Amino acid sequence: MIEDKNQQRTPLSALGEFGLIEHLTQNFKIKQTSTIKGIGDDAAVLNFDNKRVVISTDLLVEGVHFDLSYAPLKHLGYKSVVVNLSDIYAMNAKATQITVSIAVSNRFPLEALEALYDGIETAASIYNVDVIGGDTTSSTSGLLISVTAIGEVEAEQEVYRSGAKPNDLLVVSGDLGAAYMGLQVLEREKEVYKVNPNNQPDLEPYTYIIERQLKPEARKDIPNLLSELGVKPSSMIDVSDGLSSEIIHICKQSDVGCDLYEEKIPLDPQVISTCEEFNIDSTTVALNGGEDYELLFTISQEDYPKIKANPNFTVIGYMKEAKEGLHLVTRADTRIPIKAQGWKNFTE
């Protein structure tokens, strides 16, 4: 869609593996006191004193998780870091380091990897994490990116998916469904472009939802905010696969049920208008869309006064006994069971 055919193309073979690693990682700076040794030795060395260490990893595959015909490589680099940091924040932890591994085919010139690493560096700098290592190898077809994120948390502050109790309130940060609707717009424009490459799309009405798809942000601010408010969630998870599957994870692991109120689900006006345009139900999008990277958590009712005036949070339901089940309470006050939708990558 936005490919520039006149770009400079330096073949990766011109640098060799070590030259490439050196070139791509030359700008990374170490800022965390917990990083003793970063890139350049056989392994990185970290020191977390007596903190708990949390680790999470993700693998992104071209054609499965991203489509380079509309995802600029710089955004892709940024997003691959952010989606991992989101998992660290979901443990109520502070992210401190990442490693980045790539497998790349010779169809990519050096300039493409520079753009990818530009995005990685931007995210690392904004989220204040050190890039402390990785691996670089060739691939016979597409691009693969694996990021591992490391973080730290005081033992008494860590939050699992398993701590929700009946009567706890279910709370979500930000708004939902935007990344999915951004993807719908991008897919539509890709089809239009295939038919007529001279047709420049007007994406102005969709800026927020496209940004949520191509350049999502993780909620680094939420663990800090909760701690300032004196609230420790009883359970927490990040919204990567869609609200319904995250609620199911919390309920299963905590052995509780849940009532989710349709009218409470936070939606941006651009999501509502784009859903109308595409004739898609906005609740379905919030429940099953995914890639929101918001945090979904439960708190005890006692903590409600501490969060109720905060614009970052919306109470969307409450937890029940496991035997009551999991339900969406619709605007028409009917109760619909919440069902799993996961494993999208294998069924589509």
Binding site for Mg ion (CB under 5 A): 135
Name the residue nearer to Mg ion (CB basis): 4 or 41.
41
Residue 40 contacts which entry, Mg ion, ligand ADP, none (Cβ below 5-8 A, type-dependent): ligand ADP
Closest CB 57 distance from Mg ion, rounded Å: 16
Residue from 3, 111, 135, 276 touching ligand ADP (CB under 6 A): that is 135
Residue from 90, 94, 127, 134 touching ligand ADP (CB under 6 A): that is 134
Name the residue nearer to ligand ADP (CB basis): 135 or 255.
135
Under the criterion CB under 6 A, does residue 288 sit at the interface with ligand ADP?
Answer: no
- Give the N- to C-terminal CA distance of the chain in Å, as an integer: 23
Name the residue nearer to Mg ion (CB basis): 102 or 326.
102
Size, binding site for ligand ADP by CB under 6 A: 14
Residue 39 contacts which entry, Mg ion, ligand ADP, none (Cβ below 5-8 A, type-dependent): ligand ADP
Residue from 11, 40, 197, 205 touching ligand ADP (CB under 6 A): that is 40
R_g of the chain computed on alpha carbons: 21
Kindly list the distances between the CA atom of residue 6 and the CA atoms of 3, 190, 320, in Å, as whole numbers in the listed order: 9, 21, 60
DSSP 134: E
- Kindly give the residue spans of alpha helices, DSSP state H, lying in 11-109: 16-25, 73-89
CB 116 within 8 A of CB 76: yes
Name the residue nearer to ligand ADP (CB basis): 125 or 136.
136
Restricting to residues 41-70, name those near ligand ADP by CB under 6 A: 41-42
Residue 255 gets the label, from left (phi > 0), alpha (psi -120 to 50) or beta, of left
Closest CB 43 distance from Mg ion, rounded Å: 11
Exposed e or buried b per residue across 12-22, where buried means at least 16 C-beta atoms within 10 angstroms of its C-beta? beebeeeebbe
Part in contact with ligand ADP (CB under 6 A); list of ranges 36-44, 142-150, 193-201, 252-260: 36-44
Cα–Cα dist 190/1, whole Å = 7
Closest CB 11 distance from Mg ion, rounded Å: 21
Cα torsion for 151, 236, 225, 263, to the nearest 10°?
Answer: 150
Pair type for strands 326-329 and 295-299: unpaired
Residue from 57, 136, 253, 330 touching ligand ADP (CB under 6 A): that is 136
Residue from 133, 177, 242, 317 touching ligand ADP (CB under 6 A): that is 133
Site string for ligand ADP, 96-115 (x = CB under 6 A): ----xxx-------------
Residue 42 contacts which entry, ligand ADP, Mg ion, none (Cβ below 5-8 A, type-dependent): ligand ADP
CB 74 within 8 A of CB 118: yes
Kindly list the distances between the CA atom of residue 146 and the CA atoms of 62, 97, 241, in Å, as whole numbers in the listed order: 12, 14, 18
Cα–Cα dist 254/291, whole Å = 23
CB 209 within 8 A of CB 274: yes
Under the criterion CB under 6 A, does residue 77 sit at the interface with ligand ADP?
Answer: no
Part in contact with ligand ADP (CB under 6 A); list of ranges 76-84, 95-103, 140-148, 244-252: 95-103
Cα–Cα dist 57/88, whole Å = 10
Closest CB 89 distance from ligand ADP, rounded Å: 22
The footprint of ligand ADP (CB under 6 A) covers 21, 25, 39-42, 100-102, 131, 133-136
